[in-house]
Each structure stands twice: as C-alpha cells, then as structure tokens.
Amino acid sequence: MRQGVVWGAWDKRLGDEPDWGLAARIGCSEETVAARRRALGVRAFQQSPVDWAEWDRRLGKGADEGVAREVGCSAATVRKRRRDLGIGGRGGGRPRRIDWAAWDGLLGTAPDTEVARTIGCSVRPVEKRRARLRVRAFQSHARIDWARWDSVLGMSRDQDAAEIIGCSQAAVESRRRRLARLRRHCFTLASLAVLSVP
C-alpha cells in the first residue's frame, strides 16, 4: 500500500523549485506537491527572467546543463537561447556524461520522464540505467488499501482526500462513485428481498 507523504521538512522546499522537481525528490506525484503547496498558500516556483547580456558569451563553450546551473534556469532554456543565436553545442552534439552516482537514488521514485527532466537529459539514458540496475519502474497506480480510507471519502473534497491518502483526485472520485453504486445496489437487493417475503 502506498503511504501518504510525511511533509515535515519538505514543506520548507515548496515553491523553491518546480513542483515536478520536488515531486521527483519526494517520490510522489506532481499533483500531490501542487495540492500541498496550494493548501499552505505557497506560490508556485517562478523562474526569474534571465539577463542574457552577461551569459551569451558562455553559450556553446560549456555543457548547457553547467551553464544552466550557473544561470539558475533549465538546460532547455539555455539550449533554446544558444540555438536562437546560432551557436553550436559543445563537443559537436555528443551526449554529455551523466554522473549516475548522484542520481541513482532517484531511479524508480518518479516516472522516468520526470527523473530525466530533473537530471537534464533525455528519457532513454534514464530507462537504460534503471534497467541495468534492475530498478522497477515507478508505479503511479500503486495499490491503495481502500478499506483504510473508505470512511474518509465524501467527508471532505476529493482533492483534500487525495492529498491525505497520497493519490490522485481521479482515484478518489472513482472509488467514491464505485462505493455509491455498491450502496445503491445493496439497497435495491435488500428492497427486493423484503418484497419477495410472503
């Protein structure tokens, strides 16, 4: 069973980086982080506009990811600026070498696409590394022990219940509707049983 997030120290990190990045570190969905951030009234991460005047001379002379770390933006932002100016990438477009020792702990804790975005690489190297280490893929639809949570459903908004449980709002809505159908079905059967008694 998937447990809800124990927020503790994570609350201090809300809004300091994009929701998807923090979600990858925690090992939960981006929606869970966004819901928690909104519940605490924390504004979403806002990347400040880059003053390229001081950074343009660095483009193409080092890896986009390294420049991005110094600038404080994403590698994609640096790559777009470099391409817009017609500046070629370092090393003739060869893929950069990833220091996996720093990233292996993230594998399987979030979808490969989110892990790749956090690292600043394409999805394929993440998939290959995870397969090589025999790390199971992230299961976004982890099995939830609904018997533990059924009493919470309908007592608050689906979004709030999803945050408490640590799952998507859609999963809560689906379970709540299923329970409502089961209750109606049981009521119908009970009514028919009463009518059929001689």
Q: How far apart are CA 172 and CA 163, in angstroms?
A: 10
Same-domain check for residues 73 and 152: no
How long a stretch of residues is the chain?
Answer: 198
| Rg from Cα positions in the chain | 23
Residue 78 in any domain: the answer is yes
Domain boundary residue, one of 108, 132, 156: 132
Mean pLDDT of the chain: 77
Mean pLDDT, to the nearest integer, of 102-109?
Answer: 82
In a domain, 2, yes or no: no
Mean pLDDT along residues 162-181: 78
Does residue 21 sit within a domain?
yes
Sign of CA dihedral 174, 179, 182, 183: negative
Could you give the CA distance from residue 171 to residue 123 in angstroms, rounded to a whole number?
A: 27
Whether residues 166 and 75 fall in one domain: no
Q: Which residues contact 104 (CB under 8 A, 6 or more apart)?
A: 129, 133
What pLDDT is recorded for position 94?
A: 47
> Quick one: 99 and 158 in the same domain?
no
Report how many domains make up the chain.
Answer: 2
* Global confidence as pTM: 0.30
Is residue 141 in some structural domain? no
Q: Which residue has the higher pLDDT, 89 or 141?
A: 89
Give the burial class of 60: count Cβ atoms within 10 A of its Cβ; 0-12 exposed, 13-18 middle, 19 or more buried: middle
Taking residues 45-66, what's their average pLDDT? 78
- Measured in whole angstroms, how far is the alpha carbon of residue 96 from the centre of its chain? 24
Residue 59 has pLDDT above 70, yes or no: yes
Q: Specify the residue for token string 């390294």.
A: 66
If asked whether residues 94 and 165 sit together in one domain, one would say no
CB 38 within 8 A of CB 120: no
Q: Do 128 and 168 fall into the same domain?
A: no
Contact 154, 178 (CB under 8 A): no
Residue 189 domain boundaries:
146-196
Domain match, 48 and 12 both: yes
Q: Is the pLDDT of residue 91 over 60?
A: no
Torsion over CA of 171, 172, 174 and 176, rounded to 10 degrees?
160
- Please check whether residue 101 lies inside any domain of the structure: yes
